[in-house]
């Protein structure tokens, strides 16, 4: 049995402008010690998915099943969920400056995270806070434990957030864009830290990111999200060398130094759709160069690619058309052209 199994998760927010369908039928699993990367542009539903796992989306309409060690988190009341949150499942948020309270010392905040779930003396909790700061590489932890968040650099604050998340040895750690605001050197240090701590502690990790470079360094498996849906899933190597969905290919071709990089970077045109007014059919079709008639009218199900058990893609292109090379691009273009509506006189016909 998987440590975490998410089945057909749906999250919607009702606003004055309409219903925002932030997450739509998302499913995935993660085993103990495994790393799952959730990839996609801003607004794809990555963070909403993570917050929903922890019961942090107040006012949302949620459906589906989230089994953690066989128990449905979505069926828990607030008290039961508080016992899981931080204790069994912890989260490193995107912005540590806003996540750490500016008026309390860093060590005190870590101590409170411990005392919320463990009946231990304050002195023992403080000793654990110092130990954790040392574990994540904060210099002179016995002294810096009494510093305020503004006295830490951005990288140190992120390390302190990781220390707080690991305070109770959670079985699952969720890291939401943990290196977004950091420079390249500090980013590499944080990623090395996460990788080392995961290896030492055996914690399962869900890392949410738009940076495919991070995926290459950390992930075992990857799911790619677009407009609230999972559009492709595969192990890391398969996703990099044999991507199928045009959106995944577009992400790879826009990364400097990736295996899919052409002579010049090729950004994905346009913006993701509004989650209030989603397009018909495939949600990516307005920006897809291989769009066909059925892409406009019918939302593709997730289908196996190359007959593999773990590589799925929600796209109408044939499963054997994988990769980012020029030959695959030509074959895709030819196939799409043959299945695209063409004007004939005053009417139109679609080639079957």
Convert the pLDDT of each residue in 111-162 to its tens digit. Answer: 999 998 999 999 999 999 999 999 888 999 999 999 999 999 888 898 898 8
Q: Report residue 13 as tokens.
A: 């927010």
- Of the candidates 11, 20, 8, 39, which has an alpha carbon nearest to the alpha carbon of residue 236? 39
CA neighbours closer than 13 Å in the CB half-sphere of residue 276: 7
Q: What integer best gives the mean pLDDT of the chain? A: 88
Mean pLDDT of 220-228: 96
Token pair belonging to 22:
């932030």
Across residues 191-214, what is the average pLDDT? 85
- Under a CB-based contact definition with an 8 Å cutoff, are residues 229 and 24 in contact? yes
Domain ranges of the chain: 4-223, 257-349
For 54-96, write each residue's pLDDT tens digit. Answer: 999 888 999 999 999 999 999 999 999 999 998 999 998 877 7
Question: Alpha carbon of 14 to those of 18, 46, 176, 280, 332: distances in Å?
Answer: 6, 19, 24, 20, 39
C-alpha 29: how far from its chain's center? 13
Q: What is the mean pLDDT of residues 280-300?
A: 93
What phi, psi does 210 have (nearest 5°)?
-105, 0
- Could you tell me whether strands 71-72 and 61-68 are parallel, antiparallel, or unpaired per DSSP bridges? antiparallel
* Predicted pLDDT at 344: 34
Q: Which one-letter DSSP state was computed for residue 267?
A: P
In the CATH scheme, what is the homologous superfamily, with its name and number, of domain 4-223?
P-loop containing nucleotide triphosphate hydrolases (3.40.50.300)
Segments in 153-308 forming alpha helices (H):
154-165, 184-201, 212-218, 236-241, 246-253, 293-297
349 vs 179, residue with greater confidence: 179
SS3 of residue 240 by DSSP: helix
State the pTM of this model: 0.89
């Amino acid at each position: 049995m998987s440590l975490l199994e998410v089945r057909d998760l749906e999250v919607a927010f009702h606003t004055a402008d309409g219903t925002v369908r932030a997450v739509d039928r998302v499913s995935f699993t993660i085993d103990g010690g495994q790393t799952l990367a959730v990839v996609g542009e801003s607004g794809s539903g990555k963070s909403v998915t993570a917050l929903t796992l922890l019961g942090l989306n107040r006012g949302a309409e949620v459906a589906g099943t989230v089994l953690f060690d066989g128990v449905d988190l979505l069926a828990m009341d607030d008290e039961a969920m508080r016992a899981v949150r931080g204790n069994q499942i912890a989260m490193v948020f995107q912005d540590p400056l806003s996540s750490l309270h500016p008026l309390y010392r860093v060590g005190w905040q870590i101590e409170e995270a411990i005392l919320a779930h463990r009946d231990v003396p304050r002195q023992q909790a403080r000793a654990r806070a110092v130990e954790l700061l040392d574990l994540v590489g904060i210099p002179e932890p016995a002294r810096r434990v009494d510093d305020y968040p503004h006295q830490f650099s951005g990288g140190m604050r992120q390390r302190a957030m990781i220390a707080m998340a690991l305070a109770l040895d959670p079985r699952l750690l969720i890291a939401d864009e943990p290196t977004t605001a950091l420079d390249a050197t500090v980013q590499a240090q944080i990623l090395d830290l996460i990788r080392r701590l995961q290896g030492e502690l055996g914690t399962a990790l869900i890392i949410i990111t738009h940076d495919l470079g991070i995926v290459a360094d950390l992930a075992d498996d990857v799911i790619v999200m677009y407009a609230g849906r999972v559009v492709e899933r595969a192990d890391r190597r398969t996703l990099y060398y044999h991507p199928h969905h045009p959106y995944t290919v577009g992400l790879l071709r826009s990364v400097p130094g990736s295996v899919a990089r052409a002579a010049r970077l090729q950004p994905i045109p346009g913006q993701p759709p509004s989650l209030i007014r989603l397009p018909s059919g495939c949600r990516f079709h307005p920006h897809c160069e291989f769009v066909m008639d059925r892409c406009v009218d019918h939302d593709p199900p997730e289908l196996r690619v190359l007959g593999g058990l773990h590589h799925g893609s929600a796209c109408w292109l044939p499963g054997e058309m994988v990769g980012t090379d020029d030959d695959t691009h030509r074959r895709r273009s030819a196939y799409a052209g043959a299945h695209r509506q063409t004007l004939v006189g005053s009417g139109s016909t679609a080639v079957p």
